[in-house]
A = this chain, B = another copy of it.
Amino acid sequence: MSKFSVTFFPENISVEVEEGVSIKQAAALAGIEIKSTCGEVGTCGRCAVKVQGGKYKDLGGNISSRLRNSGHVLACRTVVEGDLTVEIPAESRLDEHQVLVGHSQEKGILVEKELDLLEGYQFNPICRTVYLELPPPTITENASDLTRLYAELRKHVDYPDIRIPLAVLQNLAVTLREADWKVSVTMACFNGSAQIVSIEAGDTRESQYAVAVDIGTTTVVAYLVKLSTGEIMGSAGTYNKQARFGDDVISRIIYVNEPNGLEQLHKAVIGTVNELIDKLTKEHGISPSSIHAVMSAGNSIMAHLFLGLTPKYIRLDPYIPTAADLPPVTAKELGLMINPEGWVFSFSALASYVGGDIVSGVLCTRMSESDEMVLFIDIGTNGEIVLGNRDFLVTCACSAGPAFEGGGITHGMRAMKGAIERLVIDPETYEVSVQTVGNGKPVGICGSGLIDCIAKLRDAGLIDRTGQFQQVSTPRYRMNEEGPEFVLVWEKDSGIDKDIVITEADIKNLIRSKGAVYAGIRSLLQMVSMDLEVIDKILIAGGFGNYLNLSDAIKIGLLPDVPEEKYEFVGNTSVKGAQLALLSREAYKDAIEIGRKMTYIELSVGNTFMDEFVSALFLPHTDLTLFPSVPV
């Protein structure tokens, strides 16, 4: 087969590819990741690139005639038939960005509540290091090295079943002698066994680590935890590299059907976690081999893909995961770049669409021990909701979609530099002021900006309760080929050489997302025959929550209209619960129990959710009595 050269601009990077390879695949080879929401089937239109010259075949797909006329094609649906020169516009790129981790203190925003993670638990990490001074062997005390080690170790661990991996045993004799019989033994303790991970010379108790990781559909966040103290040494966040196979869990599941699809998805998330581990170890000057455990929390699809399990059957009737209780596996089996004998734990994938991230949230907020009635809402690419207290826990998931993370929105983007995070519209002049992440030139609009945008468009009377534009006299309001749109930032002020707009289609998309979350909450309450009034506390979790303007969120009908005092913002509870389970074996056991005792309600069965969803497709809702505080 012929080989052709494809050159990408502005980088001016060339790669050699075979005939028939898509421009998107060629770009990936060149290290340039192009956006895609549809799993590369040509429907999302996010991967438009401009061919400057050369021979190619356009297999068609959803692209506006304006772009098509200016020489743009869809990178996923255009295959190489000769040497090519391609320009990749900034808006089609999946850029590096800083995922926000930690706290937000901005006024008007729910401030993240500090959780006392270990409250009620003993500090008893899942991995511990014991320092031993062994009596050296003599001609009369001539037990084997392993027998000698175990005899001393048994004085320090409760587990009669101690296991040692071959690779560690292979070095035992030399390590013991070089260390003059003084060694530190690190073990992972679970399932009634103490699994030795490493044996090092001398007292190394103060330099052993573990990593807690939240594997989100969109972003992945990791904490580096010191095992001797439980202290967080550092945190890091990045995109989930799976994003190039689609923005939501459904596109990812569909991508599994591609050749090597599962392998690609698995490797992408492992690569993402490895990148974070690499960053943290380099930043803190520690060796990857001193990381002995990883505790991961993610939704069921993410957890399946992390372990390389197919999530395919989760999407097909009767919606069955491969495993709910996910067994611990070794780092070397998984390809994680920590100590190869280290253990990787995953929180339960308790049902098709509710997984370990929610188990983790329930664990670290202690809602399963609460006397108060708690509603827990974790809004990511999927919205997951738990209702309950010490007596019961019911949960459901609703596909909010990636809209609040920028997916499926013309100029939607994630919370990176230049993303509009807050905006104000003058109700008289319709002029717009924006505030961007990092004060960069505006390049798009992220979740919190989108909530603001809808609330403000509605306040200014620019849209009606269905999200339909009202004809007003301002140059910002205009028609594009698909319908009306409103200019938020003029080309001259933007960082992308074009106007930044919000279209009526975008608004409908956002209304569907907020409607899904609100309908999920309502459906869950109905299914357990409870009113909003009985809820004492509403916990909002998720990376999304970093930017949440609560009053705007209530104004557009995303969140229930209850007094703001009932709300608490608990941040990324997925990674926090994982951290807790690293610090306390009891907490890890409780996490398994939480997974087993939560009752999952499938919203797609019966009509309740659909009815609720349709009622929620208005601003704020069909039933205005549900939002007494919102002026109509």
Chain A residues proximal to chain B, CB less than 8 Å = 137-139, 142-147, 161, 163-167, 169-170, 172-174, 177, 191-192, 307-310, 312-313, 317-325, 327, 329, 333-334, 349, 351, 602, 605
A321 partner residues in chain B, CB cutoff 8 A: 144-145
Please measure, in the bound complex, the distance between the C-alpha atom of A177 and the C-alpha atom of B602, giving whole angstroms. Answer: 23
**Which residue, of A142, A161, A191, has the highest number of chain B Cβ atoms within 10 A?**
A142
Closest 9 CB pairs of A and B: A146-B323, A144-B324, A139-B318, A173-B322, A166-B329, A144-B321, A166-B333, A137-B320, A170-B308
A161 partner residues in chain B, CB cutoff 8 A: 191-192
A163 partner residues in chain B, CB cutoff 8 A: 327
Q: A177-B313, A192-B161, A349-B144 are in contact. Are A323 and B169 (CB under 8 A)?
A: yes
Which of the residues B144, B313, B322 comes within 8 Å of A323, measured between beta carbons?
A: B144
A142 partner residues in chain B, CB cutoff 8 A: 318-320, 351
Closest B residue by C-beta to A309:
B170
Closest B residue by C-beta to A140:
B318
Please measure, in the bound complex, the distance between the C-alpha atom of A329 and the C-alpha atom of B351, giving whole angstroms. Answer: 34
Pairs across A and B, CB under 8 Å, 16 listed: A137-B320, A138-B318, A139-B319, A139-B602, A139-B605, A144-B321, A144-B322, A145-B322, A146-B322, A147-B323, A161-B191, A165-B333, A166-B327, A167-B333, A173-B320, A174-B310
Closest B residue by C-beta to A144:
B324
Please give the count of copies of this chain that the complex contains. 2
Closest B residue by C-beta to A324:
B144
Q: Apart from A144-B323, A144-B325, list 18 A-B contacts with CB within 8 A.
A: A137-B318, A138-B318, A142-B319, A142-B351, A143-B320, A144-B321, A145-B313, A145-B323, A146-B324, A161-B192, A163-B327, A166-B329, A166-B334, A170-B310, A172-B309, A172-B323, A173-B309, A173-B312
A351 partner residues in chain B, CB cutoff 8 A: 142
Whole-angstrom distance between the Cβ of A394 and the nearest chain B Cβ? 16
Please measure, in the bound complex, the distance between the C-alpha atom of A170 and the C-alpha atom of B161, giving whole angstroms. Answer: 27
A169-B327 in contact (CB<8A): yes
Q: A191-B161, A192-B161, A324-B146 are in contact. Are A166 and B308 (CB under 8 A)?
A: yes
Please measure, in the bound complex, the distance between the C-alpha atom of A139 and the C-alpha atom of B319, giving whole angstroms. Answer: 7
A307-B169 in contact (CB<8A): yes
**Which residue, of A166, A312, A349, has the highest number of chain B Cβ atoms within 10 A?**
A166
Whole-angstrom distance between the Cβ of A45 and the nearest chain B Cβ? 33
Closest B residue by C-beta to A300:
B144
A173 partner residues in chain B, CB cutoff 8 A: 309-310, 312-313, 320, 322
Q: A145-B322, A169-B309, A312-B173 are in contact. Are A164 and B317 (CB under 8 A)?
A: no
Please measure, in the bound complex, the distance between the C-alpha atom of A310 and the C-alpha atom of B142, giving whole angstroms. Answer: 17
Please measure, in the bound complex, the distance between the C-alpha atom of A597 and the C-alpha atom of B344, giving whole angstroms. Answer: 38
Q: A161-B192, A191-B161 are in contact. Are A320 and B166 (CB under 8 A)?
A: no
Whole-angstrom distance between the Cβ of A194 and the nearest chain B Cβ? 13
